[in-house]
Structure 1
Amino acid sequence: MKPPKNIDKINLIEDNETGPFPPNGFYKFKEANFGNGDYFGLYWAFGKEHQEPIVCEILHDEGILMPRFSCLNKFLEWYQLNDYDWGEEEINDDAFVLNFIKKGDNQLNNTLMV
Structure 2
Amino acid sequence: MYSLNGLSPDIAKNHQVRKKYTIQLGENELVLKELDLLNEDANVYKLIGLVLVKQDLAEANANIRKRIEYISAELKRLDGSLQDLEEKQHSKREAILKVQQRIQSHQAGKAKA
**TM-score bracket for this pair, using the shorter chain length:** under 0.3
Structure with more contact order per residue of length (Cα contacts < 8 Å, sep ≥ 6): 2
How does the TM-score come out when normalised to structure 1? 0.23
